[in-house]
Each structure stands twice: as C-alpha cells, then as structure tokens.
Amino acid sequence: MLTEIDRVLLATPDTEATAAKWKALLGAQEVSRDALPGLAAKRLTLRLGTSDIELLEPDGTGAVETALKRRGRAHLFAAGAASPDPGQVAETARAHGAAHRAEDGRHYLTLTIENAPIAFVISEPAERKPAGLVDFLYEATVLAADQAGAVKQISDAFGLDPATFTTITSEAFGYTGVLTLFEAGKLHRFEVITATAPDKTLGRYQAREGAGFYMGFCEASDMGAIERACAAHGAGITIDRPEARPPALNSDQLWLHPPSLGGMMLGVSRPTMAWNWSGHPERVERIDA
C-alpha cells in the first residue's frame, strides 16, 4: 500500500545550477550528496517541506544519461512514494511487468507505458524536518494518450483501489484526468492526464513528447512568499487568483514554469484547495475577499 508522495527525482546535466533555482525560489535546503551507482548518477538531495527533491546528474553511462539523451533536456525523471512494506509493493509491481532494482534501501520500479519508461521509487516512511516555502508534495502527473490503459497499469502495479479514484476535467488547460488516490480521504496520488485540445500547450506537448511525467504538485501555506521570490528572480510563473482577492491573501493555485526549476513544472495549491478537484469540494476553506 502506498501512503504518500514523498519525493521527486529530476534528471539534470547540472545539479548545482538546478539546486540553486529550488533554493532561491522555494527555500529548499540541501540535505545530502551521494551517488546512485545503479543509475550511474551523482545525487544532490534537497528538502522541500516534508518532501525530498533528488537531483540526478549523469556519472557515466546509465539510466539518467539515457533519459537526458532521449528527452533532450532536464526533466522529471521519477516519482517517489512511501509504503510501510516497500518489498511487497515491489513484488506486486514485478508481477505486473515492472522492471525492478533494489538500491540504497529502496525499490526502483519502471513501467513501460506507451513505449516510454515511467520510473517510480518506493521507500519506507520517514519523518523529515520541514524546510522552505512548501508544506509537502502530494501529486506526480503522468501524461498518456491511452488514459484508461495507463491508469490500469499504474493501479495494478501498485495495488491501488479504483474505488478511491476520482476524475478531473480542465477546459482551460485542455485535458481529462484520473487521480489514483492512494487512500480515501487523503490527497496523495499519481495523476494520469490526456490532452483533449491539440492546439493548447498540453496538447502540443503530448504530440511532441509522448508519454511521460509532466509535472508535480504541492501544497503551500504562504503562496505570497513564493510569488514574491519568483518576481524577485524574474522566474516564469502563472498565478490563479480570483479577481476580487487582494494580493495580501493567498492565491488559489500557481505554477512555476519548467525553466524556473531547472526542467520540472511544479504546481502549488493553497491549503485545502486541492480538494476542489479531488472529490471533496466541501473541504475547501473559503477566503472571503
């Protein structure tokens, strides 16, 4: 059983430059540097909220170097989730066709979705001292043309219960999606989306890139602090704020563009806002302004 999204892993040709962006815009703090021989990569780990951001730079020929060559740029390489029994999760995933490798006490699993390698890392739960302007990660988004097929692959591999899933549609961004919630009543999930408007940004991206991780999402209590940091550094950001709400109050959502964080798009929602599209809109706390 998966309990939470606990990390994301970025493939990057330059961990130092990428780390500087996460530190400047989101207050992430460095916690360790080491290597992952199985991926032939150097690793720089940042703490952001109670989650980890792992930056992987090629250190020879291996999966990270191959991923960078295949995508042609830095990108979201893998999503990490916690489980009280990572070994059982890995066994279930292997039984459903996932490639598997164990390293540094964790299980690295890769599903082939529409001929693309989609990588996951399963770890034991851990208490982490929070850092920075984000509270926690709760979502990693997979883009796939065959949404139903991708959802089934992910659900089967990780033993998820479809009864907890919920659907989402966005006319503004042009997609439909399924949130594969790990547990009823909790936000953590993989999201699987499919573009519905070929002329919009997501549609063009899907046509160009095919299946793969698209972005991550997190929650933050002080959206204004992130907005100010992005403005100070001239970072690309899109803000979703009701017209009548003054700047001193939280926006509902914002998105840091991929170049802002060295190759990964990150969505940020204010506390409780994600329930608006996650099956319990009654849980969203109002902001009366």
Where helices occur in 44-146 by DSSP H, the ranges are 63-71, 86-95
Our measurement of the distance from residue 277's CA atom to the centroid of its chain's CA atoms, rounded to an integer in Å, reads 17
From CA 204, how far away is CA 48, in angstroms rounded? 30
Q: Is 256 helix (H, G, I), strand (E, B) or coil?
A: strand
From CA 155, how far away is CA 29, in angstroms rounded? 33
Tokens 């990693």 sit on residue? 140
* CB-side neighbour CA atoms (13 Å) of 252: 17
From CA 247, how far away is CA 244, in angstroms rounded? 9
**pTM of full prediction above 0.95:** yes
The token pair that represents 138 in the structure block = 């709760």
Burial, 264: exposed, middle or buried (Cβ in 10 Å; 0-12, 13-18, 19+)? buried
Round the CA-based radius of gyration of the chain to a whole number and report it.
18
Residue ranges and CATH numbers for the domains of the chain are 4-283 (3.10.180.10)
Can you state the angle between helices 223-233 and 15-26, rounded to 10 degrees?
130
Tens-of-pLDDT digits for all 289 residues of the chain? 999 999 999 999 999 999 999 999 999 999 999 999 999 999 999 999 999 999 999 999 999 999 999 999 999 999 999 999 999 999 999 999 999 999 999 999 999 999 999 999 999 999 999 999 999 999 999 999 999 999 999 999 999 999 999 999 999 999 999 999 999 999 999 999 999 999 999 999 999 999 999 999 999 999 999 999 999 999 999 999 999 999 899 999 999 999 999 999 999 999 999 999 999 999 999 998 6
Q: Give residue 286's pLDDT.
A: 93
Q: Give residue 30's pLDDT.
A: 98
Task: Please give the order of strands across the beta sheet that includes 75-82.
Answer: 29-36, 41-48, 51-58, 4-11, 75-82, 116-123, 106-113, 99-103
Q: Give residue 288's pLDDT.
A: 80
From CA 79, how far away is CA 191, in angstroms rounded? 11
Provide CB contacts within 8 A for 235, sequence distance 6+.
Answer: 21, 25, 229, 256, 257, 260
Residue type, 189: R
The token pair that represents 9 in the structure block = 């892993």
Instruction: Look at residues 138, 171, 168, 166 and name the one whose alpha carbon lies nearest to residue 270.
Output: 138
Residue type, 69: K
Q: Is 28 helix (H, G, I), strand (E, B) or coil?
A: coil
User: Which residues on adjacent β-strands are paired with residue 191?
Assistant: 141, 179
Our measurement of the distance from residue 5's CA atom to the centroid of its chain's CA atoms, rounded to an integer in Å, reads 8
Q: Give residue 289's pLDDT.
A: 63
